[in-house]
Amino acid sequence: MADEAPTAAATSPAPNRVKEKPGPLEYMRRWPLQLIVGLTLLFLYLPLITLMVFSFNTSRRNIVWQGFTTDWYVRAFNNESLLQAFINSLTIAFLCTIASVVLGALAAVMLWRFRFPGKTVVEGSLALPIVVPEICMGVAMLVFFARVMPWPTGLPWPLNLGAITIAHISFAFPFVATVVRARLASFNRELEEAAKDLGASEWRTFWDILVPHMQPGLIAGALLAFTLSLDDFVITFFTAGPDTITFPVKVYSMLRFSVTPEVNAASTILIVVTVILTAVGLNMQNQTPADKKA
């Protein structure tokens, strides 16, 4: 830079480094908005942090801090049914994610690529699971698996989770389709034409050109499907049987009877799992080699 420009002689010897006034649109630097954002974050996080902190409290009652312990974690891990519910939840979420990503990606490509009769109907139906209230969908699943297609009981694990998994896939894959389709909208068709021009078949073009472009959308969709499945209570509540309990349903029944810090401990584990998964997912999304425009 022009550090020895003669005009610099006019500068006062020690420029006072007063913090400059915020620009007119720098709303984040105005105190009323800082206060609102701060209070909102406090509102969002205080309960969660309290919960996590008190999962290490020796006291049974959650209000006073008495001492540090990891006892509740030991108890949670020794609670057979809680552990089983946790494993069930993760398994269902995993299966749901895989199926939802495949179905969602296919649906997205179908809507993005093809013109066909009844397209608006298909599009509208695909949006339905996103819009319909959970309770209605839960009821529908209850009726379906009770009367139309009863899921056999007594199947070995993890086949006994089939009904819940199917229900989860039904509401998760339209979300994936939406995310992937948004990503496809930014695809430059000329890339596909260039690949074909250079001799690639339809199939190779799909794998070599389209799938890499969809990748960030697929990752985001997978993350979404996983958390939606892990998060769901209402629909699961209506499809779960006595021997197919998921973590939220288990916690719900524990809450109904007695609140012990065990639940805090188990919840803390789930929160940590979620945070780690989100971090991994966001990291993967940031590191995708595809164009940075997305």
Partner 1 sequence: MTETAPIQSSAGRQTSSAEDGVIITFENVTKRFAGVTAVDNVNLQIREGEFFALLGPSGCGKTTLLRMLAGFETPTEGRILIDGKDIAALPPNKRPVNMVFQSYAVFPHMKVFDNVAYGLKMEGVDGGEIRRRVEEALELVKLDGYGQRMPDQLSGGQRQRVALARALVKRPRVLLLDEPLSALDAKLRDQMRSELTSLQEKVGITFIMVTHDQDEALAIASRCAVMNRGVLAQVATPADLYEFPNSRFVADFVGSVNMFEGVLDEDEPDHAVVRAPELAAPVYLDHGVTGARGSTVWVALRPEKIEMHKRNGGEPPKMEDAPAGTNVVPGTIRDIVYLGSETNFEIELEGGRRVKTFRSNLTRYDQEDFTWDEPVWLAWHACSPAVLLS
Partner 2 sequence: MEQTWRQAKAAFAAVSAPPIVWLLLFFLVPLAVVWAYSFGVNSGPVTIDFTGTFANYTRALEPLYVGIFWKSLIVATLTTLLCLIVGFPVALAIAFSSPKAKAWLLLLIMLPFWTNLLIRTFALIAVLRENGYVNAILEWMWTHASGLMTLVGLQPLGDFEPLTLLYNNTAVVIGLVYVHLPFMVLPLYSALDRMDRSLMEASLDLGAGHLRTIWSVVVPLAAPGVASGVLITFIPALGAYLTPDLLGGTDSQMIANVIERQFKRANDWPFGAALSFLLMYLTFIAVAVQALVQRRSERRG
Whether residue 288 contacts residue 211, with contact meaning beta carbons closer than 8 Å, is answered with no
The least CB distance from residue 4 to partner 2, in Å, is 31
Residue 191 interacts, among partner 2, partner 1, none and using kind-specific CB cut-offs from 5 to 8 Å, with: none
Of 65-94, binders to partner 2 (CB under 8 A) are: none
Integer Cα distance of 146 and 139 in angstroms: 10
Residue 31 lies near partner 2 (rule: CB under 8 A): no
Q: How many residues bind partner 2 (CB under 8 A)?
A: 87
Of 203-232, binders to partner 2 (CB under 8 A) are: 227, 230-231
Structure token pair of residue 56: 């290490």
Residue 280 interacts, among partner 2, partner 1, none and using kind-specific CB cut-offs from 5 to 8 Å, with: none
Residue 48 lies near partner 2 (rule: CB under 8 A): yes
Integer Cα distance of 179 and 108 in angstroms: 8
* DSSP-assigned letter for residue 87: H
Among residues 247, 253, 250, which one has the least CA distance to residue 270? 247
Residue 135 interacts, among partner 1, partner 2, none and using kind-specific CB cut-offs from 5 to 8 Å, with: partner 2
Please give the residue ranges that form the binding site for partner 1 (CB under 8 A). Answer: 1-2, 4-8, 10-12, 15-16, 20-25
Residue 207 interacts, among partner 2, partner 1, none and using kind-specific CB cut-offs from 5 to 8 Å, with: none
Amino acid at residue number 218: L
Residue 8 interacts, among partner 2, partner 1, none and using kind-specific CB cut-offs from 5 to 8 Å, with: partner 1
Integer Cα distance of 277 and 282 in angstroms: 8
Residue 148 lies near partner 2 (rule: CB under 8 A): yes
Q: Identify the helix (H) or strand (E) that includes residue 88.
A: helix 80-113
The least CB distance from residue 32 to partner 1, in Å, is 15
SS3 57: strand
Whether residue 294 contacts residue 186, with contact meaning beta carbons closer than 8 Å, is answered with yes
Residue 278 lies near partner 2 (rule: CB under 8 A): yes
Whether residue 210 contacts residue 109, with contact meaning beta carbons closer than 8 Å, is answered with yes
SS3 68: strand
The least CB distance from residue 36 to partner 1, in Å, is 21
Out of 87, 90, 122, 294, the only residue in the binding site for partner 2 (CB under 8 A) is: 122
